[in-house]
Structure 1
Amino acid sequence: MAGQLKLGKLPARPGAVKLKLATYLQPAQLPTPPDVFGHDGQVGAWEMLGNDSVGDCVIAGALHETMLWTSIGSSEIPVSTDAALKNYSAITGYNPSDPNSDQGTDPAVAASYRRKTGIVDANGKHHRIGAYLALTPGDVQEHLLALYLFGAVGVGVRFPKSAMDQFNAGQPWDVVPGSPIEGGHYISAVARRDGRLVIVTWGKEQPMTDAFLTEYNDESYAYVSREYLKNGKSPEGFNMAQLKADLAAVTSA
């Protein structure tokens, strides 16, 4: 636990996801992200989704990402704490009647579940991703490219105590040398503004410096979601039809 809020990302397992954005995509064929971008303004309101009482940050992030994608491709999904806890139980075995079962989530395991089964929204509808790719930890430009192409990126960090203090004070997350690590946390990057990434955590948007990402990021994932697309294209006009087909052919995790 950190302050009045929870963490809940299990330690990163390097190599757990074999398909990597850096080796799959050809940068020369891709657009250069602008200085400011993001579609987070389309989302009505982010929700806490239980992450103040249990360590379901990976699940809350998955729902936040799906909220953004569906707000662009069709209509924003309904979410609730109950839906988040159902997903948390399905993926990790969490039992609300047994506090000891609240052990957090492995993002790589959750990514596989999201592709094969899909997370459920407040209406019980499943939302599956088409594929997922690992990003290079701490690589700011790769994160920006993934965010620009796919609308949202799941970011895992080793969470320092200073970040909770900064969050509570309404300050951007930045590196405070020597601050102790309190655990792992999963957050959803949704925009780029003022030279910082904008992430969603604990129901709010939070700015994060590039230095913070470089220092504390230990795993990140780009997700290919059909629900983000209209006529096979992202809002920026990137055609992902062939990419989806290629990834589906090589992704089995």
Structure 2
Amino acid sequence: MPGTFKLGKLPAVPGAVKLKLSTYLEKPQLPTPPPEFGHDAPIAQWEMLGNDTVGDCVIAGALHETMLWTANGSTEIPVSTDAAIKNYSAITGYNPNDPTTDQGTDPAKAASYRRKTGIVDANGKHHKIGAYLALTPGDVQEHLTALYLFGAVGVGVEFPQSAMDQFNAGQPWDVVPGSKIEGGHYISAVARRNGMLVIVTWGKEHPMTDAFLQKYNDESYAYISPEYLKSGKSPEGFNMAQLKADLAAVTTA
């Protein structure tokens, strides 16, 4: 339904995540992503998860990503707005009875919480990621590689008003020169089709051009989910054991 939805990503903090994707990719074994790919087909219905009324886009994205991983690895998790709000409160201190506490989420801090504690689904079960790595902002090929390897990528953008208009009109997110930045937003990239990234936001899939990513992307994260991996590695040879050892040595992770 056309309208103005909530954002909710706090500004990117350069260097907040020390580990980079390129350090852990066994490049000689890496496949070239095909022109089109994605593992979103098992998801019958993405959910809004409260992001129409509160700035919990980072939390909604975390649940969307976990939906995809579990739908492909075993059984899709149940999600709900209540679960999203519980996670939002646990990570940021949001109090539903105090609107002034709706201040958004730092994606790097949320990633750390997802690794150490895990987000809860609608049944109260915790889902942890095994590790997370920062991507190079605006680097299309690196985003495609991460998406191809790990099924979903968390993408942070400085969100222009034109993108809200394009979303409401069912048009791809693309660059409109001079459009005012309304705040920060977090979305989940889940596929590549028709030469564009397919992202999930506000309960639905939406296309995004490479130019939009290059212009507005200020932080992105690749997550390694045990619920998606097999035998500790991705099919392309991602070394989970080494990454976990390195993460343990990073006190700010």
Asked if these proteins are the same fold (TM beyond 0.5), I'd say: yes
**Which one of 235, 243, 247 corresponds to residue 243 of structure 2?**
247
Distance of 1:10 and 1:181 partners within structure 2: 13
> 1:25: how far off?
2.0
Whether contact under 8 Å (1:72, 1:229) holds in the other structure is no
Distance of 2:203 and 2:138 partners within structure 1: 24
Amino acid at match of 2:246: V
Q: How many residues align?
A: 248
Within 5 A, what are the aligned runs for 1:62-77? 62-77=62-77
Amino acid at match of 2:240: K
Between stretches 202-211 and 25-34, larger displacement belongs to 25-34
Amino acid at match of 1:158: E
User: Any idea what SS the aligned residue of 2:41 has?
Assistant: helix
User: Is 1:142 aligned to residue 142 of structure 2?
Assistant: yes
Amino acid at match of 2:243: L
Distance of 2:170 and 2:67 partners within structure 1: 24
Distance of 1:151 and 1:83 partners within structure 2: 23
List alignment gaps of at least 5 residues for structure 1: none
Q: In angstroms, what is the RMSD of aligned CA positions?
A: 1.3
Distance of 1:73 and 1:222 partners within structure 2: 17
TM superposition score normalised by structure 2:
0.95
* Percent of residue pairs identical: 81
Within 5 A, what are the aligned runs for 1:57-206? 57-206=57-206
> 1:232: how far off?
4.8
Amino acid at match of 2:241: A
Whether contact under 8 Å (1:232, 1:239) holds in the other structure is no
**Which one of 213, 236, 239 corresponds to residue 238 of structure 1?**
236
Within 5 A, what are the aligned runs for 1:25-44? 25-44=25-44
TM superposition score normalised by structure 1:
0.95
User: Which stretches of structure 1, 4 residues or longer, exceed 4 Å deviation after superposition?
Assistant: 230-234
> 1:229: how far off?
2.8
Whether contact under 8 Å (2:48, 2:81) holds in the other structure is yes
Distance of 1:43 and 1:62 partners within structure 2: 15
Whether contact under 8 Å (2:232, 2:240) holds in the other structure is no
Whether contact under 8 Å (1:22, 1:136) holds in the other structure is no
> 1:24: how far off?
3.0
Instruction: Map Cα deviations across residues 25-80 of structure 1 (whole Å, 9 max, x no partner).
Output: 24333111000000111112100000000000000000000000000100000000
List alignment gaps of at least 5 residues for structure 2: none
